[in-house]
Structure 1
Amino acid sequence: MPLHDEPFTPDDVEWRPVSDRLATGRRLIAAACCLVVAIVVALVAVLTSTAWVYALLLLPVVALGWSSWLFGRQVRATGYAEREDDLLVRRGVMFRSIVVVPYGRMQFVDVQAGPLARLLGYSAVQLHTASPGTDAHIDGLVPDEAARLRDRLASRGEARLAGL
C-alpha cells in the first residue's frame, strides 16, 4: 500500500458502505438541472433562429454523463466505521477526508431525510459535537440502519459522557 494512503486506511477498521440509492438521488437532481438547461438552450436556439446554438445542447448531455460517473465514485468512496471509542467517517476520491468523532464528545445525533431521500429510501445521520470542526454526517443510509446507528451512537455517547 502506498505511503500516502496510510492516514485513510487504519488497520483495525471494517468500513461500512452507504446505499447506492444516494447516487441515484444525486443523479436525478443532476438530470433535472441538465433538463432545465437543455430546455433554455433549445428555447434560445428557436427564438434566435441561430443554428449553432443547438450545439450547446451537448453541454448538459456531457455534464449529466460526467456527474453520473462522479456520483457513483463518490458514493462508493463514502463509508463509516464504529470502533470501541469513536466513529470514523470517510469520503472523497480525489480530495479525501476522514473524520474521527469520539463518542464522549457527541452532544446529539440527528436523522434527516428530504422528500427525494424518503422516496428513494435513504436518510442521513448528523453528529453534533461541541466543536463544529468535528461534526460529521453520513448520507445515504437506509432508514433502518440510520435508526440503529442513531440509537447506538446516542447510547455510546451517553455512556462515555457519564464516565468523564
Structure 2
Amino acid sequence: MTNSPEAPTPDSRPASTVTDATGVTFDGLVEPRSENRLVLEAGRWHQISPKYVRVQFISTGSFLLVVVAATLVLTLLMHQTWAWIPGGIMTAILVWTLAILPRQARAIGYQLRDDDLVFRRGILWQRFVAVPYGRMQLIDITHGPLDRGFGIAQLKFVTAAAATGVVIPGLEQQTAETLRDHLVEVAESRRTGL
C-alpha cells in the first residue's frame, strides 16, 4: 500500500522532519486481505526499521537452539523420551514465529495526527490504538544489548489508563529520540492548553 501525502503534525512541521530521520524503514504497511479488516486511515504512516527483524531473528533463533539442545540432551544422554513432546512443540512454535516475523514487522506502524498518535500492529489480530497527546504521562525509550548493537530502540507511551499503553518497537535510535522530544513538547502544550 502506498502512503498518501503527509499530514501536518500538531506543531505544523512536516511529519518527516519529526520522524524517520534516517529514512531506513519498510516500504509499506502490510494489511490483512479480508474485507472485514480495520482499514488504514489516510495520512503518513511511519514504519519501524528492518533491523528489528534481524534482532528478533537472533533472539528467537538463540532460544530455538537452546530448546533443541535441551531436548537432545534430555532424550539422547539422559534417556528421557518424554522430552520429545514438549521439545517438538516448542520447536514448531519457534520455527513458525521465525517464519512469520518479517510479515509481522511490516504490519507495525504509527501515524502522527493533529490531536493524537495512532499505533497499529497485527495481521490476524489487528490492534489500533489512538493515544491523545494531552493524555501522555510518560514517554520512555528502552533498548537491550542487541538493540544497541543494531542501533534501534523501543518507544513506550504511558497514560493514566493501563490498557492504552503503547510500545513501538524497532525504531532507529535517532528517530526514537526525536519522536520522544516532539511528543513531550506537544503533550506539554496540550496539557497547559496552549
Which one is further off, 32-41 or 148-157?
Answer: 32-41
Cα distance in 1, alignment partners of residues 155 and 102 from structure 2? 20
- Structural RMSD (CA): 2.7
1:137 lines up with 2:170 in the alignment: no
Q: TM-score, normalised by structure 1?
A: 0.85
The 1:126/1:56 distance shift into structure 2, 3 A limit, reads closer
Matching of residues 1-164 of structure 1 within 5 Å: 4-5=36-37, 7-10=38-41, 12-47=42-77, 62-163=92-193
Q: Which amino acid counterpart does residue 4 of structure 1 have in structure 2?
A: N
Shift of 1:8: 3.7
Cα distance in 1, alignment partners of residues 36 and 52 from structure 2? 28
Cα distance in 2, alignment partners of residues 41 and 130 from structure 1? 44
User: Is the contact between residue 127 and residue 135 of structure 1 (CA under 8 Å) also seen in structure 2?
Assistant: yes
Q: TM-score, normalised by structure 2?
A: 0.73
Pairs aligned (count): 162
Which one is further off, 75-84 or 37-46?
Answer: 37-46
Which one is further off, 40-49 or 65-74?
Answer: 40-49
Shift of 1:57: 7.8
Cα distance in 1, alignment partners of residues 77 and 46 from structure 2? 52
Shift of 1:130: 1.6
2:24 — aligned with what? none
1:101 is paired with a residue whose SS is strand
User: Is the contact between residue 109 and residue 154 of structure 1 (CA under 8 Å) also seen in structure 2?
Assistant: yes
The runs of at least 4 consecutive aligned structure 1 residues that moved more than 3 Å come to 48-51, 53-65
Deviations 1:22-69 (A, max 9, x none): 122121111111111111222233325699x88998766644432222
Percent sequence identity over aligned pairs = 31
The 1:147/1:46 distance shift into structure 2, 3 A limit, reads same
The structure with the largest helix share of the pair is: 1
Unaligned runs of 5+ in 1: none
Shift of 1:158: 0.7
Cα distance in 2, alignment partners of residues 88 and 56 from structure 1? 39
